[in-house]
């Protein structure tokens, strides 16, 4: 009975935590926290990256120069939210395995740890280098992704507290 509940909690909290991350990211961009460079990230580029992964292309010299794919925005949004849900389910699964109680600090640290995925998988695969350091200009990809993933962890903690889960 505990596992189905954890799955439902993961779906709800993962979705809401991802929404929280996205809303805060837009606010941060508008306030200039995210930096304004020639490089950008977003669901369309995630969709392009996933779309080409499904076609067998893992590495891009420059994802922005790779031809866009039909439906990449929808694919990117779906993948982004699915990833948020899966990461939340992993967090909840870890809590179950170690018999731990969720805490705000634990969720924030977990969210912070998930930054390894864009830093060491997505950015290099998209041609932006480790940590996004090969992105020209003031794109600040390492800082922005760290910020976003901290907010994701905070979102997990927030929504688990609000929903009393």
As averages over each run of 10 residues, the pLDDT of the chain (165 residues) reads 80 98 91 65 92 97 95 97 98 95 97 97 95 80 92 98 87
- Which pLDDT belongs to residue 34? 63
pLDDT digits (tens, 9 = 90+) for 37-66: 555 678 999 999 999 999 999 999 999 999
CB proximity list for 31: less than 8 A, separation 6 or greater: none
Name the pTM for this structure: 0.92
DSSP three-state, residue 42: coil
């Amino acid at each position: 009975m505990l596992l189905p509940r954890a799955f439902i909690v993961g779906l709800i909290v993962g979705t809401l935590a991802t929404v929280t991350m996205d809303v805060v990211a837009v606010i941060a961009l508008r306030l200039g926290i995210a930096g304004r460079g020639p490089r950008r990230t977003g669901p369309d580029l995630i969709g392009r990256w996933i779309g080409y992964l499904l076609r067998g292309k893992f590495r891009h010299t420059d994802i922005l120069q790779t031809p866009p794919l039909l439906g990449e925005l929808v694919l990117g949004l779906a993948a982004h939210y699915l990833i948020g849900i899966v990461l939340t389910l992993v967090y909840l699964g870890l809590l179950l395995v170690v018999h731990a109680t969720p805490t705000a600090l634990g969720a924030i640290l977990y969210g912070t740890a998930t930054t390894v995925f864009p830093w060491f998988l997505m950015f290099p695969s998209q041609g932006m280098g480790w940590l996004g350091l090969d992105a020209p200009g003031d794109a600040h990809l390492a800082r922005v992704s760290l910020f976003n993933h901290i907010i994701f962890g905070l979102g997990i903690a927030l929504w688990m507290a609000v929903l009393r889960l």
